[in-house]
Amino acid sequence: MYELSARAFRGDMMDAMAADRDFFHAHPELGFDLQEGCNHIRRQLEHEGYAPKEICPCALVATVGRGRGKTILLRADYDALPVDEPAGHPARSQNPGAAHTCGHDAHAAMLLGAARLLKRVEDQIEGTVKLVFQPNEEGVDKSCPGAKAIVDAGVLEDPPVDAVLALHALAPYPLGAVCAHPGRVLTSTDSFHITVNGLGGHGAMPHNCADPIAVAVRLYQALEELVARETPPSATAVLTVGGIRAGGPGGIIPSSCEMWGTLRAYDPDLRTHLLRRMEELCWKLPPLYRATASIEQQLKLGSIHTDSALLAELAPFVREIVRPEKMDLAAGPVMPSEDFSFLSNRVPTAHLYLGFGEPGDGGADGAEKSALFLRDRALPTGAALYANCALEWLRKNRLPG
């Protein structure tokens, strides 16, 4: 049987993964417009004998296996963030205003590595492995989250998908370590934009005005109370107003004030309650001060659910790749979000975190900045995890006869 451990990635295969990662890092692209990356993935897959299909803009799907049996989907996102990259990376971004600061370059490189390895053991695959390279996970294109786009395009069909696995690079986490959390692992995210409309005028005559800034301050305080007083102590929610914009000259009261923020929660019922109360506050509070407000939901992502039974099935296959002291498959949940929820809310999924860090990483720079410098040495572990979990899960769940 072909060696599926991280040690299998020597020589040319390791060099290919490192080159893939450097290519994606040097050519970051946004949203659904990932032509350079998409063409690179297509070339690599076709070189290995795959026939990838583009099911929606820059979303590539390829399959490997003998076809009879169950299907497991392996997913990697490969879009970047709309930021400028700090100096210092050897494969520095060649596209101003875009950079891989969240590790998606590593995600795509690891899945390409798994694709190469799985093709070499195709005659041993007792079912189908579906490989998916997804655009727009970061939601830069507001038209549709990337995971929703691939679900709408039929990624869970033809053949129908029975289980899904995704890996996420965790920059400050120890190199090669793996953690996961059964149940709700990442929060829902609802981005919102509130516009408070009042009556502007001269700052010397505030009685003739309806000051939207004063109303926005009261609304901000009321929103804060939703977490402090309406969220059960046993539950978790975070409501952040990250931007407020209004006015110009200090002596003029403006006619409007805008606020932007996000709501995050694990529990779907709590999320629904808080969203409804946010709308009620926008409708009812401003009229008390002769103003009005409207709220627009700009991005809605559900919380991600890691299926406990699937995670338990995958655990022994993870142990074949990762030493026991580097595994924690009962870790606590974290507060960021991901559009992977569009998959996890439809079929059993597992979301694993793979450490790329070493002592001293993260710190004041934070995870996303340190993700710029993910170590290539962790790439083989991720590729081996993808390949081994897919191969062994299909073998464990093979059809009789």
State percent of the chain over pLDDT 90: 66
User: Could you tell me the CA-to-CA distances from 272 to 149, 216, 232, 236 in Å, in that order?
Assistant: 23, 23, 14, 13
Are residues 327 and 279 part of one domain? no
The neighbour count for residue 7, using CB atoms within 10 Å, is 10
Per-residue model confidence as pLDDT tens digits over 18-64: 999 999 999 999 999 999 999 999 999 999 999 999 999 999 999 99
Positions at the binding site:
102, 104, 138, 168
**Least confident piece of the model among 115-119, 124-128, 139-143, 282-286:** 139-143
In sequence order, the 6+-apart residues with CB closer than 8 A to the CB of 40 are 20, 23, 24, 27
CA–CA separation, 49 and 116 (whole Å):
9
Are residues 152 and 43 part of one domain? yes
User: What is the rounded average pLDDT of the residues 305-324?
Assistant: 93
The neighbour count for residue 201, using CB atoms within 10 Å, is 17
CA–CA separation, 76 and 352 (whole Å):
12
What's the whole-model pTM score? 0.84
- CATH number of the domain encompassing residue 132: 3.40.630.10
Tokens representing 372? 């710029």
pLDDT of 175 reads: 85
Per-residue model confidence as pLDDT tens digits over 205-225: 999 999 999 999 999 999 999
Are residues 129 and 13 part of one domain? yes
Positions at the binding site for Mn(2+):
102, 104, 138, 168
Among 262, 280, 301, the domain boundary falls at 301
Are residues 236 and 194 part of one domain? yes
Are residues 291 and 318 part of one domain? no
Q: How many domains does the chain have?
A: 2
Among 301, 326, 347, the domain boundary falls at 301
pLDDT of 11 reads: 65
Per-residue model confidence as pLDDT tens digits over 237-285: 999 999 999 998 889 999 999 999 999 988 889 999 999 999 999 999 9
Are residues 162 and 60 part of one domain? yes
